[in-house]
Amino acid sequence: MSEDVVWLTIFVLSVFVGIEVISKVSSTLHTPLMSGANAIHGVILIGAVLVTGAADSGLALAVGLVAVILATINMVGGFVVTDRMLQMFGGRRAPQRKDQQ
Amino acid sequence: MPVWVQLGYLVAAVCFIVALKGLSGPGTARRGNLVGAAGAVLASVIVFFERDLDHVVPILIAIAVGTVAGVVGAQRVQMTQMPQLVALFNGVGGGAAALVAVLELHEFVEEAETGVNLTEFDLVATAFTVLIGSVSFAGSLVTFAKLQELMTTRPVVFPGLAVAFGGCLLAGLVLSVVVVVEPALWIGVLLGVLGLTLGALLVLPVGGADVPIVISLLNASTGLAVAASGYILGNTLLLVAGTLVGASGTLLTRMMAAAMGRSLTNTLFGALKGGSTLGAGAVSDRPVRSAGPDDVAILLGYANRVIIVPGYGLAVAQAQHSLRELVDVLGERGIQVDYAIHPVAGRMPGHMNVLLAEAQVPYEQLKEMDEINGDFKQTDVVLVVGANDVVNPAAKTTPGAPIYGMPILNVDQAEQVVFMKRSMRPGFAGIENELLFDPKTTLLFGDAKQTMSKLLNAVKTL
């Protein structure tokens, strides 16, 4: 099997997994789900780190570092804001901590 | 690449699948998100062991800067402004993907000079990532500007827009082919600039109410750009994660569009054909019946069944806390009160649930549209707070209306309807609501927060 076919196989299987895992989501969770999926594509950070680590000129390094910053914002901010949304879905929140001085 | 690094990437990919699965159920969503975050952290650590990297210190500093920016942004944002933050995060992700692909193209070109043979697939994937990544970046920024109301939320259409869009699209395709046949860095950069233009042109004609669908679509396309970059870099994790987001995001976009009764093409290109979300916008001077908080308090206090229809206006006025108190007081009087949540209440599907959850409204009182639509016939009073389009009967009765076909809450079937509104200004979709002029409708004018507390006090003294 040629290597490209392996890549194609991974791609096609991932498409099916991606569709399957969210097929039963209720509309209540559309916003957190979109936000969570948004955070996941922040893994482009990996790609940004790899190309920046191979940069051979000052310009390439600068562009790479910008990519690293943008990707990190996407990933970290995405997961944090999703968690903030979902925290509120918990319903019964932990009782207010009054006597903690 | 060491085998353990590859296995680590596999673990991270599984984390992402588990995360998406978890995010689709209310009980597991938070844990799912944390699993996803764990996978992302794992991947970001082991990437440093994948191969020998230069500039590790600057990279770590950049990651620290991005982390601080991301956390501060995510913590500070008001929950009402969350849709635009998601758009912004999506945009920067797309931008990062485009930059990665440009740098990779730079490397390809250098390799080609030293005699290494490039495959067409690599170059096709590179062109794709540059183009889609920059479309996503610019499109998301315009979306952000619309939601933040830095610019008009109405569709922006100018003569020749369709021609300009078509021209840019064609030029983008031609340049993509050129990159593949005759790889050069400057063509890649030009492709990126074209992508930025395309992204802006794509989103400008979209009306405010349809913007969430576009965010979801851009989210899915960023995913695909990331997947393509995974192929270029020979990284399976990027391929899997990007494809997962691309596929689930596409499905999510379709589900959102269905919830709003719009087709995707209509959302994107409706304004070009004319008569989509372009509303009349004129304030009508037809007679309406208005009342004060005391009258409405009596109406509510002596009802048996009350349904609250909250909208974005409620959250903007920060009246959701007083609303919850009001519902509590009504509940103490033995009145059955529920919240009817339209799928697109707020500015995004599910946004209203987030906003009400913030005010600690119990999850059980939030009823989805399909669940509660049959109940309106037996309801004495419906209190509509800051919502408009989602209860507009024009969606059922007026084929020409921009929201025609969108499923709505059957508020018009209730005994009495009370609209709490700031003014007669039409909703986000910019169309007039016939229900406001119905004889059984009462209008309670005023700022939602002040009026809500007046109403609350009036009900308490009954």
Residues B225 and B301 reside in one and the same domain: no
Nearest Cα of chain A lies from the Cα of B285 at a distance, in angstroms, of 37
Residues B300 and B269 reside in one and the same domain: no
Nearest Cα of chain B lies from the Cα of A3 at a distance, in angstroms, of 10
Residues B255 and B308 reside in one and the same domain: no
Whether residue A92 is predicted with pLDDT greater than 50 in this model: the reply is: no
Residues B330 and B438 reside in one and the same domain: yes
Of B215, B238, B273, the position where a domain reaches its end is B273
Predicted confidence at residue B428, as pLDDT, reads 61
Residues B298 and B174 reside in one and the same domain: no
The CA distance from B438 to B289, in Å, is 9
Residue B180: in which H helix or E strand, if any?
Answer: helix B161-181
Asked if B95 has any chain A CB less than 8 Å from its own CB, the reply is: yes
Task: Read off the pLDDT band of B429 (50, 70, 90).
Answer: low
Instruction: Give the pLDDT confidence of B116-160 residue by residue, as tens digits.
Output: 777 888 999 999 999 999 999 999 999 999 888 888 777 788 888
Angle B320-332/B448-460 helices, nearest 10 degrees?
A: 20
Instruction: Give the pLDDT confidence of B333-345 residue by residue, as tens digits.
Output: 999 999 998 877 7
- Overall average pLDDT of the B34-52 stretch: 95
Among candidates A16, A70, A85, A6, which has minimal Cα distance to B250? A16
Instruction: Look at chain B and report how many structural domains it folds into.
Output: 2
- Overall average pLDDT of the B307-314 stretch: 88
**What residues make up the domain containing B259?**
77-273
Q: Which residue has the tokens 């990297």?
A: B53
Residues B316 and B217 reside in one and the same domain: no
Predicted confidence at residue B198, as pLDDT, reads 94
- Overall average pLDDT of the B361-390 stretch: 87
Instruction: Give the pLDDT confidence of B395-425 residue by residue, as tens digits.
Output: 888 777 767 777 889 998 999 999 988 877 6
Whether residue B268 is predicted with pLDDT greater than 80 in this model: the reply is: no
**Structure ipTM:** 0.89
Q: Check CB contact under 8 Å for A70 and B99.
A: yes
| CB-nearest partner of B33 from A18, A41, A86 | A86
Nearest Cα of chain B lies from the Cα of A17 at a distance, in angstroms, of 7
Whether residue B275 is predicted with pLDDT greater than 60 in this model: the reply is: no
Write the single-letter amino acid at B391: V
Residues B124 and B216 reside in one and the same domain: yes
Whether residue B277 is predicted with pLDDT greater than 60 in this model: the reply is: no
Residues B144 and B174 reside in one and the same domain: yes
Of B273, B303, B326, the position where a domain reaches its end is B273
Predicted confidence at residue B251, as pLDDT, reads 93
Contacts A54 to B, Cβ<8 Å:
53-54, 107
Q: Assess if residue B282 is contained within a domain.
A: no
CB-CB contact of B299 with B399 (8 Å): no
Which CATH number covers residue B310? 3.40.50.1220
Residues sharing a CB contact under 8 Å with residue B239, sequence separation 6 or more, in sequence order: A7, A10, A11, A14, B227, B230, B231
Residues sharing a CB contact under 8 Å with residue B36, sequence separation 6 or more, in sequence order: A36, A39, A40, A79, B15, B16, B18, B19, B20, B22, B23
Residues B243 and B317 reside in one and the same domain: no
Is B295 considered catalytic here?
no
Asked if A14 has any chain B CB less than 8 Å from its own CB, the reply is: yes
A-B CB pairs within 8 A amount to 373
Q: Check CB contact under 8 Å for A81 and B56.
A: no
Residues B211 and B342 reside in one and the same domain: no
Q: Assess if residue B352 is contained within a domain.
A: yes
Of B273, B302, B334, the position where a domain reaches its end is B273
| CB-nearest partner of A18 from B36, B53, B248 | B248
Q: Assess if residue B32 is contained within a domain.
A: no
Residues B215 and B354 reside in one and the same domain: no
- Overall average pLDDT of the B54-83 stretch: 93
Q: Check CB contact under 8 Å for A14 and B240.
A: yes
Residues B159 and B83 reside in one and the same domain: yes
